[in-house]
Amino acid sequence: MAHFVILSPPYAGHLLPSLSIGHQLRGLGHEVSLISSEWASPLVEGFEVAFRPLPKPAKGGTLFTPLLMFAALIGKTQPIFVREALRKTALSWLNESVPIIESLEPDALVVEQYIAAGGTIAEHLEVPFATLSTALDWREVPSHPPGYTGWGYAPGRIARLRNRAGYRVWQWFMAPTMAAINRWRRRHAMPGLRHVDELLSRQAQIVQGCAEFDFPRDPTPWRHYGGCLACGEGRTEGDFPWERLDARPVVFASLGTLDARRNRRVLEVMAAACAKLPVQLVLSHGRWSEREEGVKAGIQLAGDPLVVDYAPQLRLLERSSIMINHGGINSVMEALSRGVPQIMFPRADDQPGTAARAVHAGVALRLPFRRPSEHNLRHAIERLLNEDSFGERARTLQRRLAATGGVAGAASFLERTLWRW
């Protein structure tokens, strides 16, 4: 039996895949521990994974890995501020987590890729590590546009030059974090890192999805497609008023759980578009803070949508004809695991890149988040309902995702590649 220690940010989109794999490793007889912020504690229940919260950071520091790095590059946040936050995050992990991880005597680390210091921690402790890419893999591939962009795939020379420029921006963005990690490495007599890709494992990497969803690339033996990593056992989905569903095709809409206030306009457009179609809109509007409750109360939703704070997403997708989402990789994979075509309103982070891949795969249509149009959304819904190709392609990818082995396949891959290193 091996002891796998998972390092993850405390956000649901990263935790659910990480915990699902940990739960599966437990089922294979291994010991599993999760290291994350105390924010993660509500989600750990049910996964049978030991949880070791990190200590609260000193004033001015942060142990969180905010999903703002891509947003900064597309004008959502001040880049200098976010670069500094990421630098502090890496230093916090290096300074606070190493004694805790060392005390656990791990045989291997599983590092979510947003924990940029994870590879250095593994090297310092002399244990093997795998990178877990719960969002788009940020490794540089010359034929692929960076994940923070919404650029489509193109094989020509001009597209490669464009991609190269995009990766240079990414390297600039990560430069302070790389510098901070390298200073720590020098203090511990470790050689410096020269490229952002060196933050990721070359021993084992698990990425969400399947080859057919990704842009074309050459396979590598240490890179494993894990299917839908948020679809494993252990998660709880809560109650839902199933008796209120009727015979109309279900359009299930969810724009994630962060910064719900900014989704207001898109939510109103969704309701208006569906009110004029023979469909039933089920709207899960996610988390609202106390300061946002007034905004929530003021939203005007046309028609008769079924509105809930949270929905049992996997079960509801089995009843759905279409999913409308924000391009978050977990929502996209969950919908494809049920063969459901999608309409996406990508906003920030790697959502534009995920939407570009979904459109390339023929399973989704993409609409602008900042200028939502009732007419365009209604037309998109009609296309997905009436054009068989979207559903056929979604069901094909459903089979391809299942063929990866999902969470069970990912856990077996880790067991083969990291145990007895």
The 3-state secondary structure of 334-393 reads HHHHCCCCEEECCCCCCHHHHHHHHHHCCCEEECCCCCCCHHHHHHHHHHHHHCHHHHHH
Q: Across all residues in the chain, what is the average pLDDT?
A: 87
231-242 per-residue burial string, b: 16 or more CB within 10 A, e: under 16: bbebbeeeebee
Q: How far is CA 85 from the centre of its chain?
A: 20
Select the more confidently predicted residue: 388 or 295: 388
Q: What is the pLDDT, as a whole number, of residue 55?
A: 84
Residue 409 and residue 395 share a domain: no
Do 397 and 408 share a domain, yes or no?
no
Do residues 117 and 179 share a domain? yes
* Average pLDDT, integer, range 291-315: 75
Residue 398 and residue 31: Cα distance in Å, rounded? Answer: 31
Q: Which domain holds residue 218?
A: 3-227+404-418
Q: How far apart are CA 321 and CA 387, in angstroms?
A: 12
Instruction: Report which of residues 421 and 407 the model is more confident about.
Output: 407
The band of 71, judged by pLDDT with boundaries at 50, 70 and 90, is: very low
Q: Rounded to whole angstroms, what are the CA distances from 139 to 2, 197, 233, 283?
A: 28, 5, 29, 35
Counted domains in the chain: 2
CATH number at residue 295: 3.40.50.2000
Least confident of 59-68, 111-120, 131-140: 59-68
- Six-digit token string for 368: 């602008």
In this predicted structure, the answer to whether residue 25 has a pLDDT above a threshold of 60 is: yes
What are 175-222's pLDDT values in tens digits? 999 999 999 999 999 999 999 999 999 999 999 999 999 999 888 889
Domain co-membership, 379 together with 265: yes
What residue type is assigned to position 35 of the chain?
I
Reported pTM? 0.87
Question: Does residue 49 sit in the same domain as residue 196?
Answer: yes
Is residue 83, in this structure, part of any structural domain at all? yes
Which residues, at least 6 apart from 221, have a Cβ–Cβ distance to it below 8 Å?
none
Are 217 and 254 in the same domain? no
> pLDDT tens, 87-129?
888 888 999 999 999 999 999 999 999 999 999 999 999 999 9
Is pLDDT above 70 for 61?
no
Residue 234: inside a domain, yes or no? Answer: no
Distance CA 92, CA 59 (A): 11
Residue 233 lies in a domain: no
pLDDT digits (tens, 9 = 90+) for 219-259: 888 999 999 998 876 566 668 899 999 999 999 999 876 55
Q: Is residue 329 part of a domain?
A: yes
Residue predicted with more confidence, 394 or 9: 394
* 339 and 217 within one domain: no
Confidence of residue 420 (pLDDT cuts 50, 70, 90): low
**pLDDT tens digit sequence for 322-354:** 999 999 999 999 999 999 999 999 987 789 999
